């Protein structure tokens, strides 16, 4: 059950090996390692997703888990793994299979089809193909941007994504399917210093100037314990702190949702 979605979110994990190309300091994946998603067993993906949907739509799922009546709906199918989902070799085929199963069960358009991604691999053609397929099902990508500066991304995400690559990938994503920016704000060293906050706002202003279309900015903070070495140095942003930033972003003309 997803607090943010307000109902059932069915997460699909392409990274059961807990492997990601990034290492975010707030990451909640235990035993996180650097790497890519393993090869997909498509028959298993199909069988498991159909099993879960049958249990929810025809079975006793909501009773078994005592879900309040007003939350008894599937809000989204979310490709959101214990690592970067787009590192899957046959990513586009997996998106197509999930979309087709969702369509067969009549989930869309009430249920959203979401890819949660750090966006770092969108320059790869098979990932772009996957985003095109996602768009065919009215799907959307939630593109992670935790800092507008390369130094900030190195500090928070332990990645070496350049400013240029970030802009290129964001532009590609926005051209291929609906794109929302998701940003985790947290107290950790100087991650969100006033300079960093201004750089983030400047980046969003630049996207407007360059007509890179962003459907919404999703601000959130750390709701659960990090499994990384930096866990004890991290604390959450309050809703009031998130709202202060949300207001500044709204002033740039964006739709913003803040969830602590
Ligand atoms: S991108 Fe996601 S899975 Fe990868 S390290 Fe960051 S939070 Fe964890």
pLDDT attached to residue 149: 98
Instruction: Put residue 253 in one of left, alpha, beta given phi > 0 → left and psi -120 to 50 → alpha.
Output: left
pTM of the model: 0.96
Query: Is-contact 14 81, C-beta < 8 A?
Result: yes
Q: What is the CA radius of gyration of the chain?
A: 18
Pocket perturbation via mutation, ligand 1, pick of 157, 226, 227, 229 by most ligand atoms within 8 A of CB: 157
Residue 50 has which token pair?
């159909």
Instruction: Name the maximum alpha-carbon separation found in the chain.
Output: 52
Sorted by sequence, the CB contacts under 8 Å of residue 139 that are 6+ apart come out as 95, 99, 112, 113, 114, 115, 177, 178
Residue matched to tokens 């190309």: 21
pLDDT attached to residue 223: 87
pLDDT attached to residue 6: 79
DSSP 237: P
Q: Which residues line ligand 1 (CB under 6 A)?
A: 20, 22-24, 27, 29, 32, 83-84, 118
Residue 215 has which token pair?
């459907």
Q: Which residues of 57-87 are buried (b: 16+ CB within 10 A; e: fewer)?
A: eeeebbeeeebeeeeeebbbbbbbbbbbbbb
DSSP 2: B
Residue segments in the chain with a per-residue pLDDT below the cut of 70: none
pLDDT attached to residue 27: 97
pLDDT attached to residue 20: 98
Angstrom CA distances, 174 to 131, 168, 207, stand at 10, 10, 11
Sorted by sequence, the CB contacts under 8 Å of residue 88 that are 6+ apart come out as 14, 36, 37, 40, 94
Query: Is-contact 161 153, C-beta < 8 A?
Result: yes
Pocket perturbation via mutation, ligand 1, pick of 33, 83, 141 by most ligand atoms within 8 A of CB: 83
Residue 83 alpha carbon to ligand 1 centre in Å: 5
Domains and CATH numbers, the chain: 8-259 (3.20.20.70)
Residue 8 has which token pair?
């059932």
pLDDT attached to residue 31: 95
pLDDT attached to residue 72: 94
pLDDT attached to residue 260: 81
Instruction: Put residue 19 in one of left, alpha, beta given phi > 0 → left and psi -120 to 50 → alpha.
Output: beta
For 201, half-sphere exposure in the C-beta direction (CA atoms, 13 angstrom radius) is 17
Residue 14 alpha carbon to ligand 1 centre in Å: 13
């Amino acid at each position: 059950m997803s607090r943010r979605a307000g109902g059932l979110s069915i997460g699909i994990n392409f990274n059961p090996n807990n492997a990601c190309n990034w290492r975010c300091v707030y990451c909640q994946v235990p035993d996180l390692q650097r790497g890519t998603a393993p090869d997909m067993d498509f028959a298993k993906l199909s069988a498991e997703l159909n099993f879960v949907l049958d249990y929810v739509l025809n079975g006793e799922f909501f009773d078994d888990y005592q879900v309040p009546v007003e939350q008894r709906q599937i809000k989204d199918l979310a490709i959101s793994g214990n690592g970067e989902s787009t590192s899957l070799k046959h990513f586009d085929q997996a998106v197509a299979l999930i979309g087709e199963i969702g369509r067969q069960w009549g989930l869309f358009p009430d249920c959203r089809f979401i890819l949660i991604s750090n966006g770092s691999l969108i320059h790869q053609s098979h990932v772009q193909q996957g985003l095109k397929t996602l768009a065919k099902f009215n799907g959307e990508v939630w593109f992670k941007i935790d800092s507008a500066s390369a130094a900030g991304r190195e500090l928070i995400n332990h990645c070496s994504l350049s400013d240029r690559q970030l802009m290129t990938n964001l532009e590609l994503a926005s051209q291929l399917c609906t794109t929302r920016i998701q940003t985790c704000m947290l107290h950790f060293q100087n991650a969100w210093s006033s300079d960093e906050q201004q750089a983030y706002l400047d980046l969003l202003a630049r996207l407007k100037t360059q007509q890179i279309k962003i459907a919404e900015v999703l601000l959130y903070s750390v709701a659960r314990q990090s499994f990384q070495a930096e866990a004890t140095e991290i604390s959450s942003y309050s809703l009031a702190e998130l709202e202060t930033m949300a207001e500044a972003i709204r002033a740039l003309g964006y739709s913003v949702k803040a969830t602590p």
